[in-house]
Structures are given as C-alpha cells and as structure tokens.
Amino acid sequence: MNVLSTTWHQLVRRRLWPVAVLLVAALAAIPVLLSRDPAPVAAPAAPSADSTAKVSDSLANPVIDAATPEERSRRRRVLGIRKDPFTPYAVKHPKKVKKLKAAIAPKVPVVKAPSTPKPSTSPSTSPSASPPSTPGVTAPTTPAKPKPKQYAKGSLIVRFGDATSDALPRFNVPKLAALPQGTADADPLLVYMGLTKDRKKAIFLVDASLDPTGDGDCKPHPSSCETIQLAKGETEFFDVIDDETGDVTAQYELDLVDIK
C-alpha cells in the first residue's frame, strides 16, 4: 500500500492523476471488449446468370481474326529484303573477288607510239645558237628595284636648322655627331650621345649658351639643362643667348623624325 499511496501522491503533485485514471479505465475495458462475440460477416452474393453468359461470350470470341483472301492478296510494304532468319550470312573473300574482277576485265592491248627520228644538227644551225633578232624590235627590260638605304644602328633621322626658315634640312645623324653639321673646328651647339636604356629616346649634350624649350626632358634639372632627351616625333627649340648682353642672337629647331 505504501507504494501505491506514494505513487498516487506523486501523480497528484505533478498533476498527472487524470492520465493515471484514463490508463486504469483502459486496462479495465480491454478484457470486456475482447470477451464480446464478433459481428457475423455477410456471405458474398452469387454471380448472376447474365454476368456468366457475358464472360463466356467474351472468351468465345477470338482475339486475332483470320485474314481474308483479299487481305492475303494485297501487297505488304516491308523495309529491306526478305531473308530467312535461320540461314547464315554469306562471307565474301576479298582475294577471290579481286581475282574474279581481274579475270572478267577485258585486256586492252598496249599500242606503242612510233618513235620520231631526231633532227640532225648541222654546224651552221646549232641548238645553242640564239634566234635571229628582228630589226627595230627591242625586248622589254624590267627596271631594277632600288636597294633600301641602310643606316647605322642607333643613328637618327632629324630636321635641324634655323627656326625662322620655311623648310628644315633632313639628314642622318650617327652617334657622337655634332649639330649643326660642319662645325668640327668651331664649338658645336648639340652633340648626339646615344640612346637611353629602353632605346626610345635620344640623348643630346647641350651647350651652355643654349636655352632649350619644347617637348624634351632636361637632365639633371630644367634650370640646369646639361643634356636633353627627345623621343620620336618630338620637337625642341634652342635659343642662343649672348653671355654679355643676355639677348637672343639666334634660334634653332630640332625635330626627331625617326630612330634607326
């Protein structure tokens, strides 16, 4: 009794006593339900005579009808050719086929062409003699293509001269050449020193009496321009300044046309 009482008190405290009551009622109802007799099952109805007659008639009719004489005489369209499925395929021997073709092919007689006699060469008419020339007719001559002009590697094509002139002379300037040209005895204004490391700009040594202005880059500084670097297509102007008076005595223009 202690076990039942403690269990009941725990269920009441936890508010589970309705569940316990339902479980006890279910346990009590199960034997009562099992003791009852089951309800009698109704026997299946016997098939009627009409239904049996319909089934027998459907079984009596054949599924496939026999072909009529008209359908047998009509031509059937079948893809391919008729062949007995039990006969094996004929194996063709390529060697025998080639032999049969060679035997059947007609043999064509080979007719040799008649040989033509070689013409006799006399001392007066030798095959190496040139054909007679007709007077007044000259053979057309193709003009020789002019050879392309070659320049030294690293040389320049420039235009240099007086900036006030209408056209500047164009000439080739090799390395260590002076500008203007023909100033070997006098002090040159510009000296071509070579190309930069990337070979895209030409370096010119600038005289102290020149004041450059234009597209070039002055090195080491624009205020003290010892050398100037010009790229292809750039132009630079040089003013010649008198040391005593500070006046501009002349102006030169340098156009870098191409780098070879």
Tell me the H-state helices in the chain. Answer: 2-13, 17-35, 49-60, 69-73, 94-104
> With 0-12 CB in 10 A as exposed, 13-18 as middle and 19+ as buried, what is 205?
middle
> Is 0.85 surpassed by the pTM of this model?
no
pLDDT tens by residue, 192-219? 999 999 989 999 999 888 889 898 889 8
According to DSSP, the β-strands at 170-173 and 210-214 are unpaired
CA 155 to each of CA 17, 27, 150, 203, 217: distance values in angstroms, whole numbers, following the listed order: 114, 118, 11, 12, 20
Question: Could you tell me the two tokens for 251?
Answer: 């102006």
What residue segments make up the domains of the chain, in order of their start?
156-259
Q: How many C-beta neighbours within 10 Å does residue 145 have? A: 6
Q: What is the pLDDT of residue 55?
A: 60
CA–CA dist 169, 158 (Å, integer): 8
DSSP H or E segment with residue 220: strand 217-221
Interval 86-94 mean pLDDT: 68
pLDDT tens per residue, range 23-55: 888 888 888 777 776 666 666 666 666 666 666
The amino acid sitting at 107 is K
Per-residue CA distances from 171 to 68, 82, 180 (Å)? 110, 94, 11
Whole-angstrom distance, CA of residue 158 vs CA of residue 155? 10
